[in-house]
Each structure stands twice: as C-alpha cells, then as structure tokens.
Amino acid sequence: MTAHDDSFIPGLAAHPDASAHRYIHVIGTKVFVDDRPAEDGWEHHFLGMHGSVAVWGVDVPTGEDPAFGAETDLYSLFGRVSETDWAIAGRAVQLVEWARTHRFCGRCATPTELAANERAFVCPSCRLMAFPRLSPAIITLVTRGEGDDEEALLARGANFPMPMYSCLAGFVEPGENLEQAVAREVFEEVGIRVRDISYVASQPWPFPNSLMLGFTARYGSGDLVLDETEIMDAKWCRRDDIPMIPGSISIARRLIDGWMLRG
C-alpha cells in the first residue's frame, strides 16, 4: 500500500478561495460523496482542503438517507477511489462519530461546545477538553533465518471469520514506547522474544479510530506458545508456502509483500 498524496491538507476552516465544496455524508458508518451541501440542520465538520476543494463530513440523522441506499462502507470503498479519497472518507467517519459521542462532558455531563481554535470539544462548566480519539496500534512482521531459508511468522486471529493469516498486532499501552509495545505484544500473543525492531510505515485505520504503525522484527528466542484467546494458530512460513493473507487495504500486506520482494 503506497502513501496517499500530499494534496489533502487537514484543517479547521475552509480556505476562502475554495473553488468548490465536497460533502462526505456519513450514514451510520457508511459514506456517500456528494457535491450538494448538507440539509439544513444537519451537523457538518470541515475536514480539510483537497487542492482547491473544501471537504466536509456530514452527520446524516438516523432515518435519513440522501444516498437512497447507495452509501458504501469503507472496506468496499477501498480500491474504487484513490487512496487519498479513501483516507478522507475515513477521516469523515471518525470525526462524525467523535462528535456523536462527545455531546456531553465526561466529567460533569454539561453539554459541550466546539473549541474556537482547535479540533476539540470543551465543557463550558469545568473546561474539560475532548480531542478526537486516536488509538495507536503496532503491527509487526517477525522473521527468522537467512536467504532461502528465511521464514516469516504469520498468525490467524481467534476472531478471523476466514482462514486468513496476518502479522501480529495490538494496541499501545499507556507508559510504553512503540518498540516496547512490539516486544510485549509479540511475547503476549505467541510467547517469543524479538530483537532488531525497526519501524517501516504507518496507516490510518478508521475501524473505528486506529493509527497502525508497521514494524519488522527478528526472532530472538523462545518457542511458540499461543494466547488462545487472541491467536488461533501461528506458524513460520517460507516465501513459497504463504497461506491466505490480507488484501492490499491493510498495512499487513505491505509488510508481507516487502519481505517477499527481499527474497
């Protein structure tokens, strides 16, 4: 998966010289793109400038459907639009859902207000600020061996609906850095120690609000001992014996493809 281009610039206010406006209508967690403005009274949030076009996320009220059933979930949208447009749609879904779930202060229950100069809701009573939720998660491809004998560790998650194998992943815990999160998650899920942890790339992952941080690591020590609440199966795979793996929508595929090409 390649990084999307730099023509989209997130922001808080539309540029006054915008030549056009685009509206990402969010219907539940599905989207419908339209150049027509939102209906009166529907909440909308400025997402940023895509070139000279101002882009907005619109919260479609329950029961309304401006798309008449043509809305699309983000998984299905991938591959049908550019990666930049897909990232913008994901941003719309995340910001609309953030606004839906932060109407009241989490400390004192007072109705919140949008902050004037930053992307946040603020409580007018106790001044608590709530920023858009972003959950950092690491995803790691572990390898061992050299040359033609090199193998990658692939695992099938306990909740995978199909026999698909992927990289190990998990959320970053408070108080740890990313490399510590990689080492901990690998050990917790499959019982081995890793070394030579190296950052590769990141990917926004709006399911619902993750930022995936991709790493590679080398096997250090230990035998595979699975946390069966998380991992159904894990195995060392050679390049000529790769099981079903994620599609191009996932950074996991980028990590695996990168390793395959190095062989």
From CA 149, how far away is CA 121, in angstroms rounded?
54
Give every CB contact of residue 127 below 8 A, 6+ residues apart in sequence: none
From CA 108, how far away is CA 131, in angstroms rounded?
17
> Using one digit for the tens of pLDDT, what is the confidence trace for 187-230?
999 999 999 999 999 999 999 999 999 999 999 999 999 999 99
pLDDT at 5: 61
CATH 3.90.79.10, the chain: domain bounds: 135-261
- Six-digit token pair at 246? 């994620």
From CA 45, how far away is CA 96, in angstroms rounded?
7
Going from the C-alpha of 124 to that of each of 13, 15, 108, 128, 263, the distances in angstroms are 22, 28, 10, 8, 58
Using alpha carbons, select from 57, 62, 70, 71 the residue that is nearest to residue 22: 57
pLDDT tens track of the chain, all 263 residues? 444 566 899 999 999 999 999 999 999 999 999 988 888 899 999 999 999 999 999 999 999 999 999 999 999 999 899 989 999 999 999 999 999 999 999 999 999 999 999 999 999 999 999 999 999 999 999 999 999 999 999 999 999 888 999 999 999 999 999 999 999 999 999 999 999 999 999 999 999 999 999 999 999 999 999 999 999 999 999 999 999 999 999 999 999 999 999 87
From CA 165, how far away is CA 84, in angstroms rounded?
27
- Six-digit token pair at 37? 């403005």
* Continuous H helices in 131-213: 178-190
pLDDT at 2: 42
Quote the DSSP letter at residue 166: B
Q: Which helix (H) or strand (E) holds 86?
A: helix 83-100
pLDDT at 3: 47
- How much is the pTM? 0.90
Q: What is the CA radius of gyration of the chain?
A: 21
From CA 191, how far away is CA 221, in angstroms rounded?
9
Are 76 and 249 in contact, with CB atoms under 8 Å apart? no
Find tokens 């010289």 and name the residue: 17
pLDDT at 4: 52
- Six-digit token pair at 113? 């207000």
3 state SS of 11 = coil
- Six-digit token pair at 99? 């606004």
Q: Which helix (H) or strand (E) holds 45?
A: strand 44-50
pLDDT at 226: 98
From CA 207, how far away is CA 110, in angstroms rounded?
28
pLDDT at 139: 98
Which fold would CATH assign to domain 135-261? Nucleoside Triphosphate Pyrophosphohydrolase (3.90.79)
Using alpha carbons, select from 133, 56, 63 the residue that is nearest to residue 94: 133
